[in-house]
A = this chain, B = another copy of it.
Amino acid sequence: MTSERRPSLAVVGATGAVGTVLLGLLSSRRDVWGEIRLVASARSAGRTLTVRGEPAEVVALREEAFDGIDVAVFDVPDPVAAQWAPIAAAKGVVVVDNSAVFRPAEDVPLVVPEVNAPAARIRPRGIVASPNCTVLTLVNGLAALHSEYGLTELAVASYQAASDAGQRGVDTLREQIRQVAGTGVGEQTGDLRAVVTEHGPFPAPLALNAVPWSGSARADGWSSEELGLRDQPRKILGLPDLRVFATCVRIPVVTGHSLAVHAVFEREVTRARAQEILREAPGVVLFDNPEAGEFPTPNDVVGTDPTWVGRVRRSLDDPTALDLFLCGDNLRKGAALNIVQIAELVAAELTPAG
């Protein structure tokens, strides 16, 4: 295949937290792309970034940025995606979007390549959506178990990292850690609010704390993140009646989301067979030998592609249920990697086999 026949890619939001990881992935994965064009706000236009080992200049987001582009990945705030994804799609560009805007739309597929790759081909609006990072931490492992056992119910508690609130989340946590190091915070007398000066994107101090809130407020006390953990797995797995109970909590970790999951199935499970399924599941690493200190932690998974699954147990009071602990890098599979994988699916479809 000559380089002329390769599809061209626009990376919209190339300067962001997800965009940065995405450029790294494009530089290290098998290269299927012709031109790669970097796009961000007018503030960043003219900056030079590196992709595939070569310098590339950032251009401002405007209609002409999509001229000659086959596929555009969007890693930008929701309002920017809402405005610009349809503009790119109207020009015939296939848009792969990482915002929350298009995930619920019936005429936009929500895709995790290991689970529902064919769905990416049916895109009436020219847009394919990628799930959010907590959902992506969950779904590869659960999809594999679902194929064998038939998933009916999930109770999920999240342990989310600061970096899913972007670079500002990371900087805020880092600064708070510097502020609390060496203080008596968390002892009977120490109060974080006296030491930590900036909450940044979080509603409470995060260092040495746990903050049971992520996303924006929805009816009846729910957060958008918790509703996403119900709506998105339902759509991806094709299980509109899946019962989901979620509580989303942020903890002082820089990168790496974790989930404690109680999963109920139609059929009886065994621990040994569940471990076998997870060992063979695409995009999953089984790391499960607690007696030997083997269980996934966020620190183990940072910078890796798969979802790591451990603490696999058959539930004591329900032979059709499993209890599990899952970890994934929220900036890789949780964001940039899934988008790149979807974009590569589209590229393969656009490229005549040869």
Q: Which of these, B159, B177, B181, B245, contacts A317 with CB under 8 Å?
A: B245
Is there an interface contact between A245 and B155, defined as CB atoms closer than 8 Å? yes
How far is it, in angstroms, between the C-alpha of A243 and the C-alpha of B185 when the chains are bound?
Answer: 37
Taking CB atoms, residues of chain B closer than 8 Å to A181 are 177-178, 181
How far is it, in angstroms, between the C-alpha of A198 and the C-alpha of B310 when the chains are bound?
Answer: 23
Task: Indicate if A4 sits at the interface (CB-CB under 8 A).
Answer: no
Min CB gap A217→B, angstroms: 5
Task: Indicate if A105 sits at the interface (CB-CB under 8 A).
Answer: no
Give how many A residues have a beta carbon under 8 Å from the other chain's beta carbons.
82
Chain A 295-328 interface mask (CB, 8 Å, partner B; 1/0): 1111100110000001111111110010111010
Is there an interface contact between B299 and A204, defined as CB atoms closer than 8 Å? yes
Q: Which of these, B178, B256, B323, contacts A246 with CB under 8 Å?
A: B323
Is there an interface contact between A245 and B318, defined as CB atoms closer than 8 Å? yes
Please provide the chain A residues from 221 to 263 with a CB less than 8 Å away from any CB of chain B in the complex: 221-223, 227, 230, 243-247, 249, 251-256, 258, 260-262
Taking CB atoms, residues of chain B closer than 8 Å to A163 are 186
Interface residues of A (CB under 8 A from B): 21, 24, 153, 155, 157, 159, 161, 163, 170, 177-178, 180-182, 185-193, 203-205, 208-213, 217, 220-223, 227, 230, 243-247, 249, 251-256, 258, 260-262, 271, 288, 290-291, 293, 295-299, 302-303, 310-318, 321, 323-325, 327, 331
